[in-house]
A = this chain, B = another copy of it.
Amino acid sequence: MGSSIHPVILCGGSGTRLWPRSRASRPKPFLPLVGHRTLFEQSLDRVANRSVFAAPTIVAGKAHRELVREQSGDVEGLAMIEEPFGRNTAPAIALAAHRAGEDAILLVCPSDHHIADAPAFAAAAETAAALAGEGWLVAFGIEPTRPETGYGYIKRGENIGGGFAIERFVEKPDAARAEQFLADGGYSWNGGIFCFRAGTYLEELARQRPDMAAAVERSVAGGQEADGIFHPDAEAFAAIEGESIDYAVMEGTERAAMVPVSMGWSDIGNWQALREALDADANGNVTRGRSELVDCRNVMVQSDGPRVSAIGIEDIIIVVDGDEVLVTTADGAQAVGKLAGASGQ
């Protein structure tokens, strides 16, 4: 057994496309969308085996401090870093890298994805950690199961033993290219899960984004621990220009690698994606909360209280939450984030 893997769980996602269930005060990671535990709780569960994983570091905003506390209360040794502002993933990971120390093998995980096959995840993490120990910056490459146009892709290159060098990152493709990628077999989805030595990441960040790296360093140096939470210096952090790890580090490094993994992954990126992650009945219907469906097919109902009665509809998603009701098609689900309600109006 090598040194343990240090999970870094990022809680920055707002999940506006899962409005009205996901709201600013209770965003997507903290909702029990699949099963009875929240996506954040499931993220903790996946790294709970302390013979493999160290106690995780959580990076979250101040607004969600209480949700993080409530939902991680029984995890011992957990570290919390509170971002004064959201600055996307590259700075958030840099904070965690500094706090963990340069020799730590970090496993960076979004807190708002669903993974059906936790053992496959753990196995891939160990494979990735071994490559990380050799100096690679490793991305999980999710085996594609459909010609998805909503995700970025990773093109695998040379076999490096246990994984592959990354030939290149590919932006969200159109439908024709997505079909081609699926047929080709050499492309994986970029699921936003990464593994590397903290020091490797910080070196690459300093080389590619020196201003960001310096600002994070100042922010850590000027930060302070209070009540079990590390608070980076807000003024230094405010100066950072937000950017994702993909752009700031992964796309520009010579040391990018990927580990292919098939683990029943979904980003639960919208209501249609959630529908696909849930078990349907014989008519393709998926319900949560009180409902009566008559002559309905491929309908999803999610209600936090009121009864939903539906007759004769097909391929429709219905969500009731508090004083908001959403009714959309699968395609329309992509546009939920643009609704007035989803933007807080």
Which of A67-75, A227-235, A332-340 is near enough to bind chain B? A332-340
Whether the pair B340, A324 counts as a contact (CB closer than 8 A) is: no
A323 contact set on B, CB distance < 8 A = 305-307
Residue in chain B with minimal CB distance to A338: B294
Contact residues of A between 15 and 68, Cβ < 8 Å to B: 20
Contact with A312, one of B309, B311, B328, B341 (Cβ below 8 angstroms): B328
A212 and B241 CA atoms in complex are apart in Å by 86
Contact residues of A between 302 and 343, Cβ < 8 Å to B: 303, 305-313, 316, 318, 320, 322-329, 331-333, 335-336, 338-341
Whether the pair A313, B339 counts as a contact (CB closer than 8 A) is: no
Whether the pair A327, B336 counts as a contact (CB closer than 8 A) is: no
Residue in chain B with minimal CB distance to A314: B329
**Is A295 on the interface with B (CB-CB < 8 A)?**
yes
Whether the pair A328, B311 counts as a contact (CB closer than 8 A) is: yes
**Is A292 on the interface with B (CB-CB < 8 A)?**
yes
A305 contact set on B, CB distance < 8 A = 323
With known contacts A316-B327, A335-B294, A340–B309 Cβ distance under 8 A: yes
Residue in chain B with minimal CB distance to A335: B311
A310 and B328 CA atoms in complex are apart in Å by 5
A335 contact set on B, CB distance < 8 A = 294-295, 311-312
CB distance from A24 to the nearest CB of B (A): 16
Interface residues on A, range: 20 to 34
Contact with A311, one of B306, B310, B311, B332 (Cβ below 8 angstroms): B332
CB distance from A202 to the nearest CB of B (A): 43
A309 contact set on B, CB distance < 8 A = 20, 324-328, 336, 339-341
A294 contact set on B, CB distance < 8 A = 332, 335, 338-339
Residue in chain B with minimal CB distance to A322: B306
Contact residues of A between 280 and 316, Cβ < 8 Å to B: 292, 294-295, 303, 305-313, 316
Whether the pair B308, A336 counts as a contact (CB closer than 8 A) is: no
A341 contact set on B, CB distance < 8 A = 292, 307, 309
A20 contact set on B, CB distance < 8 A = 309
A327 contact set on B, CB distance < 8 A = 308-311, 313, 316, 318, 327
Known A308-B327, A309-B327, A311-B333; 14 more pairs at CB < 8 Å? A20-B309, A292-B340, A292-B341, A303-B325, A306-B322, A309-B325, A309-B326, A309-B341, A310-B328, A310-B332, A312-B332, A313-B316, A316-B316, A327-B327
